[in-house]
Amino acid sequence: MTKQAAMKARPVRPGRPRDPQLDERVLHATRELLASVGYQATSIQAIAREAGVVASSIYRRWPGKVPLVEDAIFALDVGFIPDSTGDVRADLLTWTKLFLHQAADPAARAAIPGLLSAYHDDVGSYQRLLDRGEQPTRAAIQQVLEAAVANGQASPGCDADTLFELLRGATLMRALTCGLDDAEKFCGQIADALVAVARNPV
Domain match, 59 and 133 both? no
- Predicted confidence at residue 111, as pLDDT, reads 95
166, part of any domain: yes
- Residue 183 DSSP one-character state: H
Length of the chain: 202
- Predicted confidence at residue 16, as pLDDT, reads 46
3-state helix, strand, coil in the chain (%, to 5): 70, 0, 30
Consecutive H or E run containing 63: none
* Confidence grade of residue 81 (pLDDT, cut at 50, 70, 90): confident
Asked if the model's pLDDT at residue 10 lies above 80, the reply is no
CATH number at residue 126: 1.10.357
Domain match, 95 and 129 both? yes
Q: Which of 40-54, 58-72, 76-90 has the lowest mean pLDDT?
A: 76-90
- Predicted confidence at residue 7, as pLDDT, reads 39
Asked if the model's pLDDT at residue 115 lies above 50, the reply is yes
- Predicted confidence at residue 95, as pLDDT, reads 95
What residues make up the domain containing 38? 18-73
Q: Are 33 and 42 in contact (CB under 8 A)?
A: yes
Asked if the model's pLDDT at residue 164 lies above 90, the reply is yes
Domain match, 97 and 68 both? no
Domain match, 142 and 182 both? yes
Domain match, 93 and 184 both? yes
Q: Are 87 and 177 in contact (CB under 8 A)?
A: no
Domain match, 143 and 106 both? yes
82, part of any domain: no
The total domain count for the chain is 2
69, part of any domain: yes
Q: Are 178 and 132 in contact (CB under 8 A)?
A: no
CATH number at residue 38: 1.10.10.60
Side-chain-side CA neighbours of 144 within 13 Å: the count stands at 28
Asked if the model's pLDDT at residue 13 lies above 90, the reply is no
Question: Given CA atoms 6, 9, 12, 13 in this order, what sign does their dihedral have?
Answer: negative
Asked if the model's pLDDT at residue 78 lies above 90, the reply is no
38, part of any domain: yes
